[in-house]
Amino acid sequence: MRRAVLAGAAVLLVVVAVIEWPAEAVDFADRLAPPSAAHLLGTDQLGRDVLARVLGGVRYSLGLGLLALAVAVSVGTASGLASGWWPRHPLARGTQALVDVLVALPALLVGLVVAAVLGSGLVPALLAIVVTGWAPFARQAHRLTVAVRGEEWVLAATALGAGPRRLLRHHVLPAVASPLLASIAARFAGTVLTLAGLSFLGLGIQPPTPEWGAMLAEGRTYVFVAPWLVVAPAAALVASTLALGCIAARPGVLTDRS
């Protein structure tokens, strides 16, 4: 049942992200129009439909956030598995030292530094999220690997002649995947907020792209004239992070096989 609900939500997300919403259609004759039957969430300073822009922003705020998270999970898991399996290797020790530093620093602060060095735009924002996002998964994968490598079934596979690659791929990785999967939803919420924060500060996705953080940055100038320009993207951010938080609070939702 839970898997069916998640599958339905994923399909809905894909549909919303794939459909070409008229987010860039400009109508200067209908600027800053309040919510109405024609425009359910009103229009912005260029006459663009706010609802269309909020829905079009799904592919940027959630879609790109998911892409960056996938890269961070892959990098973090791979480095954590390697450092956990060969903990005394100098490279493993260096990796864990770097992980300790990155985990101790606020993700948004590190993202701001990376984005400021690389410049503003989509690619620097995604790289900033990957730089800040891989460390927690690397630490978790490292700890899980260290705990698993001494189990009897791993020792038995080693005695039967299984090499390190086969052990990591077919024995250790499936054992650590479930706990890692359970933490992805919580990290996803943080990734969405980090991407929105970078865009809001002008270091991430730039206007007129309908990304929720960029929409907030554009709308704050008109907050007293057209408050819906801020309320709509803010509500989308809050709703998405709350939904992901609810999933993260119930780890069995992601790992349940029923």
Asked if residues 82 and 48 have their Cβ atoms less than 8 Å apart, the reply is no
Supply the mean pLDDT for the chain: 80
**CA neighbor of 118 nearest in space, from 198, 46, 58:** 198
Q: Which residue has the tokens 């009103």?
A: 42
φ/ψ of 202, rounded to 5, equals: 85, 10
Percent helix, strand and coil across the chain, each to the nearest 5: 75, 0, 25
Torsion of CA 38, 42, 43, 44, to 10 degrees: 180
- What does the alpha-carbon distance between residue 119 and residue 121 come to, in Å, rounded to a whole number? 7
pLDDT at residue 13 tops 80: no
Q: pLDDT-derived band of residue 258, with 50, 70 and 90 as boundaries?
A: very low
Q: What is the pTM of this model?
A: 0.81
Q: What is the pLDDT of residues 144-171, one digit of tens each?
A: 888 887 666 666 666 656 666 767 776 6
230: which residues sit within 8 A by CB, 6+ positions away?
Answer: 216, 219, 220, 223
Residue ranges and CATH numbers for the domains of the chain are 2-255 (1.10.3720.10)
- What does the alpha-carbon distance between residue 193 and residue 198 come to, in Å, rounded to a whole number? 9
113: which residues sit within 8 A by CB, 6+ positions away?
Answer: none
Give the Cα-Cα-Cα angle 185, 188, 192 (nearest 5 degrees): 145
Asked if residues 62 and 120 have their Cβ atoms less than 8 Å apart, the reply is no
**Across 16-25, 36-45, 118-127, 231-240, least confident range:** 16-25
Sign of the CA dihedral with 103 first, then 104, 108, and 111 last: negative
- What does the alpha-carbon distance between residue 50 and residue 215 come to, in Å, rounded to a whole number? 9
Asked if residues 172 and 132 have their Cβ atoms less than 8 Å apart, the reply is no
- What does the alpha-carbon distance between residue 153 and residue 72 come to, in Å, rounded to a whole number? 29
pLDDT at residue 257 tops 50: no
Asked if residues 234 and 219 have their Cβ atoms less than 8 Å apart, the reply is no
**Across 22-36, 88-102, 171-185, 194-208, least confident range:** 171-185
Compute how many other C-beta atoms are within 10 angstroms of the C-beta atom of residue 237: 22
Q: What is the pLDDT of residues 198-243, one digit of tens each?
A: 899 888 888 888 899 999 999 999 989 999 999 999 999 998 888 8
